[in-house]
Amino acid sequence: MSRQHHRPMTPGAGFFAEIVGGADPALVTEAADRAAVLLVRGARASDDAEVAERLLRLAEDEGIETIAEVWSGAPADSIAGCLWRLFLLRSWVHAEPVAVAREFEAGRARAQVARVVAGVADPPGPEQLKAMVDEVLRGIATSDFADVLLRAAAFARVVATGRAHLPGSDEDGVRRMLVMAEQLEAAGHLELAARLQ
């Protein structure tokens, strides 16, 4: 049985005018970047002591999923990309503090330099790690953003090292944590370089 081929129909000029699309991805990205910059730079410029606490609770108030929608696709070296990684790290520490403490403890003897930068209480129990990650995030409003990024990077590196040395470690999970550490560290160095110019 032979089938006759037809030329595809070409929509008229009015066809595309009728389609209602979503938001322009370029505009969404630009808005996300601008919001991130304003959040970081505005928090530093504010004299309001509550800004650090509101910033800390952003993921809880808005939901990590909302933050992910806005910032997760941003480049790792952008402020938006850095904020996404910082909030993701905090959410993970608060969701799994016992596992994080175990991984940090396993890694801190093997990553001495990073341990000092991470600034975790000794011994690093679950509550101490939650307090540390909160203090790092508060630093967006109270200290230099480069320091925040470098402390978070050091923490992630210690955890990645510990995760790699624990029995039954997930190689993919180790790699992801190490990549996060490297991205935060690189962004911290970029931030330092920009400050020195």
Task: Please give the share of the chain, as a percent, with pLDDT higher than 90.
Answer: 31
Q: What is the pLDDT of residue 71?
A: 87
Query: Greater confidence, 3 or 24?
Result: 24
Answer for the pair 133, 95: CB distance below 8 angstroms, yes or no: no
Q: pLDDT of 25-43, one tens digit each?
A: 677 778 778 888 888 877 7
- Find the distance separating the first CA and the last CA of the chain, reported in whole Å: 75
The tokens describing 79, both together, are 């402020």
Q: What is the pLDDT of residue 1?
A: 54
What is the C-alpha to C-alpha distance for residues 175 and 125, in angstroms, rounded to an integer? Answer: 24
Answer for the pair 161, 66: CB distance below 8 angstroms, yes or no: no
Helical H segments across 57-125, by residue range: 58-62, 64-71, 79-95, 97-108, 112-118
Q: pLDDT of 139-154, one tens digit each?
A: 888 788 898 999 999 9
Q: What string of H, E and C letters represents the secondary structure of 131-175?
A: HHHHHHHHHHHHCCHHHHHHHHHHHHHHHHHHHHHCCCCCHHHHH
Q: What is the pLDDT of residue 119?
A: 64
* Cβ neighbours of 84 (radius 10 Å): 22
Q: What is the pLDDT of residue 50?
A: 80
Per-residue pLDDT averaged across 38-51, rounded? 75
* Cβ neighbours of 51 (radius 10 Å): 19
What is the C-alpha to C-alpha distance for residues 56 and 163, in angstroms, rounded to an integer? Answer: 26
Q: What is the pLDDT of residue 22?
A: 59
pTM as predicted: 0.78
Answer for the pair 93, 130: CB distance below 8 angstroms, yes or no: yes
